[in-house]
Structure 1
Amino acid sequence: MSPVFALLVGICLVLWLVMSAPVGRRTVGRSVTVRSTPERLWAALHPFGAHFSWNGAVTEVIRTGPTTGHMVTSHAGRDGQPIRRDFEIVDEVPGESFTMRFTNDTSLAQSFWENHEMRFRVEDAGDGQAVARLAETDRYRGVAFLVFRFFALRRQARKLKRWAETGEFRPGGVFEHPLTQFGMAGVSAMLIWPFFGLDGRGLFLAVTLTVVVAAHEFGHMVAFRLMGHRSARMIFLPLLGGIAMGGRPYDRHFEIGFSALMGAGFSAFPVALLTCTAVSAPELAAPVPFAAVTTIVLVASMFNLGNLMPVWKFDGGQVLRQLFRSNAGMAGGAFAMLALMAAACGAAGLSWRVILVASAVLTLLSVMTAKTGVKPKTALTPMNDVERIALGLGLVATLAIHAFAMVWSFRALF
């Protein structure tokens, strides 16, 4: 097995494990000891408790039966209105433990909740202390969401402890703070540095890639705001890149496609500017070494082309899924995009054997990660002809800009 083939298969397996591997039914748990009474914790954790709205996630709870209820959350749905959920309580031991399951959701299809349940237990630890035990069970595809649930539950336990002891609740957290994310970007660059060589050139490449990732995610954030989201944020994940998140669920197919395309689309502007300057007016970039400019162009174009790969969960796959609603259309569009990218790599001078192996691995990855997304409660608003044409032309233009930039910079450097 060649090193290139082994590397591509390894990347494919890691992405499959993160995004789509059938992890099965798993439980994450957390316990916290609080200087408080068991009654106070019970009132904060039980949906019918007097303090259930302690963290602001729920604004109202309406009892609909002895063990059922309806809650209004503070999270906005597609229409900007609060998301509402029905729930049921089972296996309850008053004052000690209970299990809660969601039976209806105005935002997500019930299939999202069918394997989900949350268990709570409160115990008296003596000496004026109480213990809260929280556990969340669900069936997972990919370890990413499982890891997210673990950290979310840990944060909830910490905030519960602060509130129970001081009566104070602080929204958000240190992790989302801009300074923390700036630090995470620095950590990411330092972790990437050894892969490029522990010298000045390697450091330049690591920093360049980190800035490229940030610019790409910023493009997604711009798209969210243009689509009417009241907020958008970016989270850096060292070695894995970054994630941009909007302030509400998607409402339209065009919104999904546009938001996915704008990662590479936003970066296409500086890439095109740098490429045109270096090709037609190099004297304007004279203060910056030519090799540095071409390296920045190469890293940016390759990263964004990689994100536009027609894989189900990549940006390119997301755009294709909105443009083509039939399986035949998506398959045809995917192979056309893959052929274009393969041609660009061949024009740049890469080995056709490597290109064919990479294409086969990406095709396999797309099949392995297909149809694993979260379904909305109701169908999204379809695209009209003008939106479909605009999104299609935007995809072609973005692909062309990054493909040309990659071919030019690769040939210029190598």
Structure 2
Amino acid sequence: MPRLHVFSWRVPSRLFARQLQELSIVYPAMSSAKADGGQNARIGKTVVAGFSIPKAVNAMVSPNVTGAFLVLGSAGLLVFVVCLLWLVLSAPVGRITVSRSVNIAAERDRIWSAVYPFGPDFGWNGAAVSVTQTGKGTGRVVTSHIGRDDAPIERSIEISNETPMDGFTLHYTDDTSLAQSFWENYRMDVRLEPKDNGTTDVVLAETDRYRGLAFPIYRFFALRRQARKLQTWAETGRFRPGGLFDHPATQFGMAVLSALIIWPFFGLNANGLFLAITLTTVVGMHELGHLAAFRIAGHKSVRMVFLPLLGGIAMGGRPYDKRFEVGFAALMGAGFSAFPVAMLIWASMEHQPGMTEPQYRTVLIVIMIAAFFNLGNLMPVWKFDGGQVLRQIFRSAWGMAGASFAVLAVLVVVGRVAGLPWSAMVVAASVLAFLGVVTARTSHEPKTALTPMSDSERVALGLAFASVVAIHALALAWAARQLF
């Protein structure tokens, strides 16, 4: 199922309904303040983590204040991103209809045979393997999507407002993968209108009640793709799965675009571009960890998608089956990234005598960005990786609350060690706690409960979570102390 992030979405299944189960975020790393008494000082500049600050500005504030200013700027960006994520993923936006119309150079009966669930060509795009009519206007669809038991997902449908060859409304009344609550507000409307020139206007519309803007936006583009592919099939008889967005070259371009979008936050210069590229690379490494977890858990297909500004999505090939699988997949993003972070710390300590000051600072900044990103993803917010892991480990609300408080306390302590004022850390912790509350229980439940974890699995996952949090927290604190 796919999974989103800002940078990191981890989700198990190709159905975006399950792609939105878990979210984690990156907080663009801040730069640090450290004056260079060498050449830059002689030309009237202070170097702050690779950035040049004019002497006029430096005269007004001390290096420590400058560093705090840069960190507070990143904290402000954090608040902005968190609010954006709430809007994208959890804000109650109500009932929305997304639609797409297309004019197809084909007879109406050919198109009807493809869009009508009981038509002979309903499986034109491979989404439906078979359809069995069970009554007047009701049927059972076997889809090509794979469920948690490695069997095809099946759905019961009900057709209403049907006018043969003109249109109908479709509802889902049962799903072998998702609880019916997911479909209770959903309907799909299809309308066909023949034209005098032999073409047919087709209107596809999906209506549902949403929390957050991500899913309706996704459905808009999915409907747009479906309409285009229907047009191609009806006019040429050919169907090609996938699309331009799925092509590796497109995804590479999306990663480049993502880096360019966040570049201004770090300064429109070479140093800022380096930081933006570093952050985008860190996102990619994080997502690779989720992909590796999916493979280890037995997913037969995985892929990663970059979303500019919102980061990336790691997608598995089926829904989750076990609670341990949920926690393991969530933790592996930061867990996988802990290895290069630890190696960079060792390399910087081992080879510091032979490194120039700019080289040493560059390594420290990379460490700090990677640790900051991954520690942010481990915060105990419902849709973040940390929230996903803790919900699997703790079975009671009190246990979850205690663990969440402990992780937020780690964030506050690390922030203080890095030089942030108490007020800034209290604000950051409060924003994260608020986001955790407003996003709580916004995911859709599976049809049947996931396989529970054994006590040994809970202990193992808990120890792994504590270790990964400790690695990134210590790395961030150490790098910040070296830089500030």
**TM-score interval for Structure 1 and Structure 2 normalised by the shorter chain:** over 0.9
Q: Which residue in the other structure is 1:42 paired with?
A: 112
Q: 1:372 aligns with which of 442, 457, 461?
A: 442
Native 8 Å contact 1:8 1:361 kept in 2 = no
Q: Distance in 2 between matches of 1:287 and 1:333?
A: 40
1:286 deviation in Å? Answer: 7.4
Name the CA shift for 1:213/1:284 in 2 (closer, same or farther; >3 Å): farther
Q: Distance in 2 between matches of 1:285 and 1:3?
A: 30
Q: Distance in 2 between matches of 1:286 and 1:253?
A: 48
Alignment of 1:234-253 (within 5 A): 234-253=304-323
Q: Deviations over 1:105-161 (max 9, x none)?
A: 000000000000000011102222111110000000010111111111101001101
Q: 2:466 aligns with which of 396, 399, 412?
A: 396
Q: Distance in 1 between matches of 2:450 and 2:356?
A: 50
SS in 2 for 1:126: coil
Q: Which residue in the other structure is 1:210 paired with?
A: 280
SS in 2 for 1:394: helix
Name the CA shift for 1:288/1:394 in 2 (closer, same or farther; >3 Å): farther
Alignment of 1:3-402 (within 5 A): 7=77, 9-282=79-352, 289-402=359-472
Unmatched tracts of structure 1, length 5 or more: none
Q: Distance in 2 between matches of 1:325 and 1:17?
A: 29
Name the CA shift for 1:9/1:185 in 2 (closer, same or farther; >3 Å): closer
Name the CA shift for 1:183/1:15 in 2 (closer, same or farther; >3 Å): same
Q: Distance in 2 between matches of 1:193 and 1:12?
A: 19
Number of equivalenced pairs: 413
TM-score after normalising by structure 1: 0.97
TM-score after normalising by structure 2: 0.83
Name the CA shift for 1:227/1:273 in 2 (closer, same or farther; >3 Å): same
Q: Distance in 1 between matches of 2:125 and 2:353?
A: 58
SS in 1 for 2:331: helix
Could you say which structure has the greater relative contact order, defined with CA pairs below 8 angstroms and 6 or more residues apart?
2
Q: Distance in 2 between matches of 1:322 and 1:200?
A: 43
Q: What amino acid is aligned across from residue 116 of structure 2 in structure 1?
A: H
Name the CA shift for 1:338/1:129 in 2 (closer, same or farther; >3 Å): same
Native 8 Å contact 1:95 1:122 kept in 2 = yes
1:277 deviation in Å? Answer: 1.5
- The answer on 1:412 being equivalent to 2:482 is yes
1:8 deviation in Å? Answer: 5.1
Native 8 Å contact 1:212 1:300 kept in 2 = yes
Q: Distance in 2 between matches of 1:148 and 1:327?
A: 33
Q: Distance in 1 between matches of 2:340 and 2:73?
A: 34
Unmatched tracts of structure 2, length 5 or more: 1-71
Q: Distance in 2 between matches of 1:284 and 1:117?
A: 65
Name the CA shift for 1:110/1:59 in 2 (closer, same or farther; >3 Å): same
Q: What amino acid is aligned across from residue 190 of structure 2 in structure 1?
A: F
Cα-Cα RMSD: 1.6
